[in-house]
Amino acid sequence: MMRILCILFISMQLISCIRQETIRQEDFNQQAVNLRRLANAVQGEVWRGPEQNADVLALACQRDPSLCEPFASDSVLVKVVDDNVILLLCDAGRKQALIEDAPCTMQTDRRAWEESSKPCEFTLDVAAVCGN
């Protein structure tokens, strides 16, 4: 009887872990979609020609606050190279990269949450990604 209870308990734990990982994957996929929308808005701010040293992320969020709401508990970093931007989503403490995206491509460029080593650092080369 005890053996059956142990097997049931272990099985339930495994199912719970698998379910949590599935939910987490879905959350990251949704955040990738959200980051793509934000990246497009930030790219638009760059193309509008903001004042020098303007915070293009803040401008995009001011124009449409709903774009930034999904990232309230994370850190979003922006890198501008010429007329292109790359956004990097990291955890709140900026210790781990989660997603990196350049709006010049159709897909999410880097799903860092799937990598084993993922410091909060830009890895994409704008020229290589965007073809400049």
Report how far residue 124's alpha carbon sits from residue 61's, in angstroms, rounded to the nearest whole number: 23
Looking at per-residue confidence, does 23 or 45 come out higher?
45
Q: Which residues of 77-113 are buried (b: 16+ CB within 10 A; e: fewer)?
A: bbebbeebbbbbbbeeeeebbbbbbbbbeeebbbbbb
pLDDT bin (cut points 50, 70, 90) of residue 56 is: very high
pLDDT digits (tens, 9 = 90+) for 2-22: 566 445 444 445 444 444 444
Looking at per-residue confidence, does 117 or 108 come out higher?
108
Asked whether the beta carbons of 85 and 56 are under 8 A apart, the reply is yes
Between helix 56-63 and helix 2-48 the angle, nearest 10°, is: 100
Q: What are phi and psi of 103, to 5 degrees?
A: -70, -5
Q: Is 70 exceeded by the pLDDT of residue 57?
A: yes
Report how far residue 100's alpha carbon sits from residue 70's, in angstroms, rounded to the nearest whole number: 15
Across the chain, the runs of DSSP E, i.e. the strands, are 74-81, 84-91, 97-101
pLDDT digits (tens, 9 = 90+) for 26-38: 788 999 999 999 9
Q: State the average pLDDT over residues 45-57.
A: 88
pLDDT digits (tens, 9 = 90+) for 77-105: 999 998 899 999 999 999 999 999 999 99
pLDDT bin (cut points 50, 70, 90) of residue 67 is: very high
What does the domain layout of the chain look like in residue ranges? 2-130
**pLDDT for res 82:** 86
| Residues above pLDDT 70, as percent of the chain | 80
Sequence-distant (6+) residues with CB within 8 A of 89 are: 31, 35, 71, 74, 75, 76, 97, 98, 99, 100
Across 4-127, the runs of DSSP E, i.e. the strands, are 74-81, 84-91, 97-101
